[in-house]
Structures are given as structure tokens and as C-alpha cells.
């Protein structure tokens, strides 16, 4: 989030951008995302969360998709924000063009195309909506998930709510890569988790740079022989 003078996270924490990145800011609150390129999420986080901003910021762009303080519904805010950014003519601050979706079929086709390019998914915005900070029914994230299988290697104990029972499983995929799987389990499954050697099915949203499943979550036992 750009509050008009400085960059802050959605939780209100400051982002320590170099002075050249922020000195030409428009004095207008702009909702957006710091971005380097697709499949560079980890690199982007490393650059923008560093309290001593370095040369990595030369690759960063601020992609704008709303202007909270402008009046009117989204379509009106979009028109004003686009005009403002065009006047500023700053290469590192860009408006994200948005298009109207006319059918579910069109939505799914577009989703599949951008995911094939490495995008995580789509954000749907309710037409004619007013800006609302935080989570809102006016915004909906849409993305496909992938299913994969792996073998339980070990039960990993928990703390707090999961004290005395399984917190996560160490899973090995068929390619030999191991990762911790902690999401998607019901209480009964944590009390009596799949035994080591059991094949399980999990869902995930692509892979990290180290080829581990991103945002993996347990689905079910793999009953195929």
C-alpha cells in the first residue's frame, strides 16, 4: 500500500524503499503490489523486506490496481488513477489494466492462460463497488490447484493447540523432494494420522524455487494401486 508518501504493508508496517523510489510519489494513496516478475516471489520479498534497501530495488515495480482516497465506484477511481499515473510517467509505478469478465467460460479460459505463464491466479472485483480496506466481499481470488501424491516419512509433533498429537507430516514426493505438510487435516486425522509408508494425496498451488509444493494441503489417502 502506498499512503501517498511512503510504502506500507497491509498491516501498517513500513517498507524501507530507497529515496529515489518514493521521492516522486503523487501524494495520493494507491493500493497495489511490489513486483519484480513472475516466479520471482521469494526474490521480491527478500528485496522489499530488507531494512537496508539495496540495488535490488532497481528491478522492482509498484503495480497499482486501486486508489482508495478517490471518490466514486471502482470504474470511476480506475479512470482517475490511470490518468494520474499517465501524467506522472514513472516507469517503476504502473497501473494494472483490468478487463470485464462476461462469462464463467471466459473467466476459466483466461485463468488457464495466465497460470500457464506462471501467474498465481486472478482477482475478481465486483463492478460498481466502493473501496473497502482489508478483506471484502467485493474482491474474490480465483486460482486452480494441482493434485500430487507423496509418501508419509514421519509424524512431526506439535505445540500449543496440537500439543501431544501430529502437527504436520514429513512427505516425500516421487521425485525425492521432501517437505512438511501441515494443512488440511481434521482433528481426528491429527489424532490418528496416516502411518509412515502410507501414500497420500495433497493439493498445492505450483512450486517454490526449490521445487517444493506451494501452499500444500492434505486431501485424502491415495487408494490407487
Residue 207 is predicted with a pLDDT of 87
Chosen domain end from 120, 142, 164: 142
The whole-angstrom separation of Cα 3 and Cα 30 is 7
Tens digits of per-residue pLDDT, 67-97? 988 889 999 999 998 998 888 888 899 999 8
Q: Are residues 51 and 117 in the same domain?
A: yes
What integer is the mean pLDDT of 177-205? 94
Shared-domain flag, residues 37 and 109: yes
Say whether pLDDT at 20 is over 60.
Answer: yes
Please check whether residue 30 lies inside any domain of the structure. yes
In a domain, 12, yes or no: no
Does residue 41 share a domain with residue 85? yes
Q: Length of the chain, please?
A: 225
Residues 153, 136 within the same domain: no
Mean pLDDT check: name the lowest of 125-129, 149-153, 169-173: 125-129
| Average pLDDT score over the chain | 88
Its pTM surpasses 0.85: no
| Within a domain: 193 | yes
Neighbours of 137 (CB within 10 A): 8
Residues 23 and 132 in one domain: yes
The answer to whether residues 49 and 138 belong to one domain is yes
pLDDT tens digit sequence for 99-145: 899 998 999 899 989 888 878 788 899 999 998 877 778 888 888 88
In degrees and rounded to multiples of 5, residue 110 shows phi and psi of: -65, -40
Q: What is the CATH number of the domain that holds 167?
A: 2.40.50.140
Residue 98 belongs to what domain range?
Answer: 19-142
> Which of the pair, 191 or 23, is modelled with greater confidence?
191
Residue 201: CA count within 13 A, CB half-sphere: 9
User: Per DSSP, what are the bridge partners of residue 201?
Assistant: 149, 220
Residues paired with residue 213 on neighbouring β-strands, in sequence order = 207
Query: Residue 39 is placed in which grid cell?
Result: 516466479
Number of domains in the chain: 2
Amino acid at each position: 500500500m502506498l499512503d501517498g508518501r511512503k510504502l506500507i504493508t497491509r498491516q501498517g508496517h513500513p517498507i524501507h524503499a530507497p529515496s529515489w523510489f518514493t521521492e516522486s510519489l503523487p501524494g495520493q494513496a494507491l493500493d497495489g503490489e511490489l513486483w519484480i516478475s513472475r516466479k520471482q516471489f521469494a526474490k521480491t520479498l527478500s528485496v522489499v523486506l530488507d531494512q537496508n534497501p539495496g540495488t535490488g530495488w532497481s528491478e522492482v515495480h509498484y503495480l497499482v490496481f486501486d486508489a482508495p482516497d478517490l471518490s466514486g465506484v471502482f470504474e470511476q477511481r480506475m479512470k482517475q488513477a490511470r490518468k494520474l499515473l499517465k501524467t506522472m510517467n514513472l516507469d517503476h509505478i504502473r497501473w494494472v489494466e483490468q478487463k470485464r469478465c462476461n462469462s464463467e467460460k471466459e473467466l476459466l479460459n483466461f485463468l488457464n492462460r495466465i497460470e500457464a505463464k506462471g501467474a498465481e491466479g486472478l482477482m475478481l472485483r465486483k463492478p460498481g463497488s466502493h473501496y473497502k480496506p482489508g478483506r471484502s466481499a467485493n474482491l474474490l481470488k480465483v486460482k486452480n490447484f494441482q493434485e500430487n501424491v507423496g509418501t508419509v516419512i514421519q509424524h512431526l509433533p506439535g505445540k500449543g493447540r496440537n500439543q501431544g498429537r501430529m502437527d504436520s507430516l514429513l512427505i516425500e514426493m516421487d521425485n525425492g523432494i521432501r517437505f512438511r505438510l501441515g494443512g488440511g487435516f481434521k482433528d481426528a486425522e491429527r489424532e490418528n494420522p496416516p502411518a509412515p509408508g502410507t501414500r497420500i494425496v495433497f493439493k498445492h498451488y505450483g512450486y517454490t524455487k526449490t521445487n517444493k509444493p506451494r501452499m500444500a494441503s492434505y486431501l485424502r489417502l491415495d487408494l490407487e494401486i
